[in-house]
Amino acid sequence: MKGRSVFMKRVSRQKELIIMTIPLIIYVFIFSYLPLRGWVMAFQRFRPGLAVQPWVGLYNFTFLFTDPRFFEATRNTLVMGVYNLALGTITAIVLALLINEIQFSIFKRVVQTISYLPHFLSWVIAVSLIGDFLSSTGILNQALMLFGFIDEPIIFLANRNQFWHIAAWSNVWKNVGWSTIIYLAAITSINPEEYESAELDGAGRFAKMRHITLPGIKSTILVLLIMSVGWVLNIGFELPFLMMNDLTRPVAETIDIYVIRYGINIGNFSLATAAGMFRTVVSIVLITAANQLSKGLAKESLV
């Protein structure tokens, strides 16, 4: 009874917050949990319009795990996801540290605005700009030839060995500014007296970054990193699809593209559902493992 009384007192003190979260809970339930009923299609040979769908057990999963194209798509998705995660996290932290050190407020706001702008471009426009930049007559090739690094233009977007690098850096260019917002907010919560004490001890800017700023935002970095690990296989459909061509298809086709091409486009909704289930389960395993690893090593976790 005592425990129940304490619980009810906590609920009473936070009833406004609880009421505010009810619409969000309803929204998540309707759009995130009710659709999970569709997962039953992964165990059927689903055909729209039929009253009774034939059951096939694990046939769709067996087909996936024996299909070389699915293994290729999973490899591409995992490599690009890890590449984006590592590069995106490092560049966002570095940019946040550098922006924080800008003393001239007007210039600081200009830099922040410029870094945010690409995030609001659609991937169609972004890939078009990237294609112009990397084309045989683009700025990059012209600059490399001008300074004598190459004798003839390089067709970057037709090179399989360069595709993952181009995709990762394109993602950084588009999203790094937006990703710095939370890190900059975390930096503002650090006690200014710590910087003042470090200055009195003769610490320079880089020393303050290393010994004060980075430790001050360590928990934020770990939490965001754990959350990002769960999205390693959800790298998005637009960038690889728009940048892909016949020459780079073996390294550009992701799970999303596989689902569209070999599932939805030919009406094989059961196979598409099975691939989606596989990705979801792997994401849950990854985020759980990352959370436990962080809890054990750094004493930081989501829950």
85 touches 232 (CB < 8 A): yes
Q: Decide if 39 is inside a domain.
A: yes
In this prediction, the residues of the chain whose per-residue pLDDT falls under 50 are none
CATH number for 110: 1.10.3720.10
Domain holding 13, by residue range, is 1-43
Is 105 found in the same domain as 5?
no
Q: Is residue 262 located within the same domain as residue 204?
A: yes
User: Could you tell me if 212 and 264 lie in one domain?
Assistant: yes
Please give the pLDDT value at position 302.
60
Nearest residue to 119 via CA among 83, 95, 155, 86: 95
Residue 246 lies in a domain: yes
CB of 299 within 8 A of CB of 224? no
Looking at the fold, whether 72 and 159 belong to one and the same domain comes out as yes
Q: Is residue 303 part of a domain?
A: no
Residues 96 and 63 placed together within one structural domain of the fold: yes
Question: Torsion over CA of 173, 175, 178 and 179, rounded to 10 degrees?
Answer: -110
Count structural domains, the chain: 2
Quick one: pLDDT at residue 294? Answer: 75
Give the contacts of 263 (CB within 8 A, at least 6 positions apart). 269, 271, 272, 273, 275
pLDDT of residue 300: 64
216-273 pLDDT, tens digit each: 888 888 888 888 888 888 887 889 999 998 899 999 999 999 999 988 888 888 999 9
- Smallest CA-to-CA distance from 190 within 221, 213, 219 is with 213
Are 135 and 211 found together in one domain?
yes
- Provide the whole-model pTM: 0.85
Task: Clarify whether residues 98 and 219 are in a common domain.
Answer: yes
In this prediction, residue 3 carries a pLDDT of 60
Q: What is the pLDDT of residues 57-72, one digit of tens each?
A: 899 999 999 999 999 9
What's the CA gap between 101 and 212, in Å, rounded?
A: 13
Q: Is residue 96 part of a domain?
A: yes
In a domain, 302, yes or no: no
Q: How large is the angle between the packed helices 160-188 and 105-116, nearest 10 degrees?
A: 140
